[in-house]
Chain A
Amino acid sequence: MSAPVWNNKVVKWVDDRLPIISMVHHAAYEYPTPKNLSYMWNFGSLAGFVLVTMILSGIFLVMNYTPHADMAFDSVERIMRDVNYGWLIRYLHVNGASMFFICVYIHIFRGLYYGSYKAPREVLWWIGILILLAMMATAFMGYVLPWGQMSFWGATVITNLFSAFPVIGDPLVTWLWGGFSVGNPTLNRFFSLHYLLPFVILGLVVLHVWALHAVRSNNPTGVEIKTPQDSIPFHPYYTIKDLFGMGVFLIIYLYFVFFAPNFFGEPDNYIMANPLSTPAHIVPEWYFLPFYAILRSIDFEFLGIPAKLLGVLAMFAAIIVLFVIPWLDTSKVRSSRFRPVYKWFFVILVIDCFILGYCGAKSPADPFMGLHGLQVITVGQLATLYYFLHFLVVMPVVGKMERPKPLPASISESVLKGGANA
Chain B
Amino acid sequence: MSQTVQSSGDKPDENRRDFLTLATTAVGVVGTGMALWPFVDSMNPSKDVLALASVEVNLSNIAVGQAIKVMWRGKPVFIRHRTEREIKEAEDVALNQLVDPETDDARVKKKEWLIVVGVCTHLGCIPMGTATGEPRGDFDGWYCPCHGSHYDSSGRIRKGPAPKNLHVPTYTFLTDTSVKIG
Q: Which residues of chain B have C-beta atoms less than 8 A from A56's C-beta?
A: 39
A60:B46 contact, CB within 8 angstroms: no
**Contact string, A57-95, partner B, CB cutoff 8 A, digits 1/0?**
100100110000000000000100111111011000000
Smallest Cβ distance from A235 to chain B, in angstroms? 13
A85:B38 contact, CB within 8 angstroms: yes
B42:A83 contact, CB within 8 angstroms: yes
B97 interface contact, C-beta 8 A: no
B48 interface contact, C-beta 8 A: yes
A378-B155 Cα distance, complex, nearest whole Å? 82
B110 interface contact, C-beta 8 A: no
A88-B49 Cα distance, complex, nearest whole Å? 19
Instruction: Show 27 residue pairs from A and B whose CB-CB distance is below 8 angstroms, ordered by the A residue.
Output: A56-B39, A57-B39, A60-B39, A60-B42, A63-B42, A64-B42, A64-B46, A78-B46, A78-B48, A81-B47, A82-B46, A82-B48, A82-B49, A83-B42, A83-B46, A83-B47, A84-B41, A84-B42, A84-B44, A84-B46, A85-B38, A85-B39, A85-B41, A86-B46, A88-B38, A89-B39, A243-B28
B43 interface contact, C-beta 8 A: yes
Q: Which residues of chain B have C-beta atoms less than 8 A from A63's C-beta?
A: 42-43
A57-B43 Cα distance, complex, nearest whole Å? 12
A56-B28 Cα distance, complex, nearest whole Å? 19
**Contact string, B4-46, partner A, CB cutoff 8 A, digits 1/0?**
0000000000000000000000001000000000110111101
Number of interface residues of A (CB under 8 A): 15
Main SS at interface, chain A: helix
Q: Which 7 A-B pairs have the closest CB atoms?
A: A85-B38, A82-B48, A82-B47, A82-B46, A84-B41, A83-B46, A84-B42
A81-B47 Cα distance, complex, nearest whole Å? 8
Counting chain B residues whose Cβ lies within 8 A of the other chain, the interface size class is: 10 to 19
A86-B48 Cα distance, complex, nearest whole Å? 13
Q: Which residues of chain B have C-beta atoms less than 8 A from A78's C-beta?
A: 46, 48
**With A64-B46, A85-B39 given, can you name 4 additional A-B contacts, CB distance below 8 Å?**
A82-B47, A83-B46, A85-B41, A89-B42
A64-B46 Cα distance, complex, nearest whole Å? 10
**Contact string, B32-68, partner A, CB cutoff 8 A, digits 1/0?**
0000001101111011110000000000000000000
A83-B39 Cα distance, complex, nearest whole Å? 11
Q: Across the two chains, which residue of chain B brings its CB closest to A81?
A: B47
A57-B39 Cα distance, complex, nearest whole Å? 8
Q: Across the two chains, which residue of chain B brings its CB closest to A53?
A: B35
Q: Across the two chains, which residue of chain A brings its CB closest to B45?
A: A84
Q: Which residues of chain A have C-beta atoms less than 8 A from B47's C-beta?
A: 81-84
Interface centre among A56, A78, A84, A88 (most CB of B within 10 A): A84
Q: Across the two chains, which residue of chain B brings its CB closest to A56?
A: B39
Q: Which residues of chain A have C-beta atoms less than 8 A from B28's C-beta?
A: 243
A88-B38 Cα distance, complex, nearest whole Å? 8
Smallest Cβ distance from A261 to chain B, in angstroms? 15
A78-B49 Cα distance, complex, nearest whole Å? 11
A86-B44 Cα distance, complex, nearest whole Å? 11
Smallest Cβ distance from B44 to chain A, in angstroms? 6
Q: Across the two chains, which residue of chain B brings its CB closest to A243?
A: B28
Q: Which residues of chain A have C-beta atoms less than 8 A from B42's C-beta?
A: 60, 63-64, 83-86, 89
Q: Across the two chains, which residue of chain B brings its CB closest to A92?
A: B38
Q: Which residues of chain B have C-beta atoms less than 8 A from A82's C-beta?
A: 46-49
Q: Which residues of chain B have C-beta atoms less than 8 A from A88's C-beta?
A: 38
Q: Across the two chains, which residue of chain B brings its CB closest to A88?
A: B38
**Contact string, A88-127, partner B, CB cutoff 8 A, digits 1/0?**
1100000000000000000000000000000000000000
Smallest Cβ distance from A195 to chain B, in angstroms? 17
Q: Which residues of chain B have C-beta atoms less than 8 A from A85's C-beta?
A: 38-39, 41-42
Q: Which residues of chain B have C-beta atoms less than 8 A from A89's C-beta?
A: 38-39, 42
A64-B48 Cα distance, complex, nearest whole Å? 12
Smallest Cβ distance from B42 to chain A, in angstroms? 5
A55-B96 Cα distance, complex, nearest whole Å? 57
Q: Which residues of chain A have C-beta atoms less than 8 A from B46's C-beta?
A: 64, 78, 82-84, 86
Q: Which of A285-300 contact B (CB under 8 A)?
A: none
A89-B42 Cα distance, complex, nearest whole Å? 9
A223-B39 Cα distance, complex, nearest whole Å? 45
Smallest Cβ distance from A382 to chain B, in angstroms? 46
A243-B32 Cα distance, complex, nearest whole Å? 13
Smallest Cβ distance from B91 to chain A, in angstroms? 44
Q: Across the two chains, which residue of chain A brings its CB closest to B39?
A: A60
A52-B6 Cα distance, complex, nearest whole Å? 48
**Contact string, B89-111, partner A, CB cutoff 8 A, digits 1/0?**
00000000000000000000000
Q: Which residues of chain A have C-beta atoms less than 8 A from B43's C-beta?
A: 60, 63
Q: Across the two chains, which residue of chain A brings its CB closest to B49?
A: A82
A60-B47 Cα distance, complex, nearest whole Å? 17
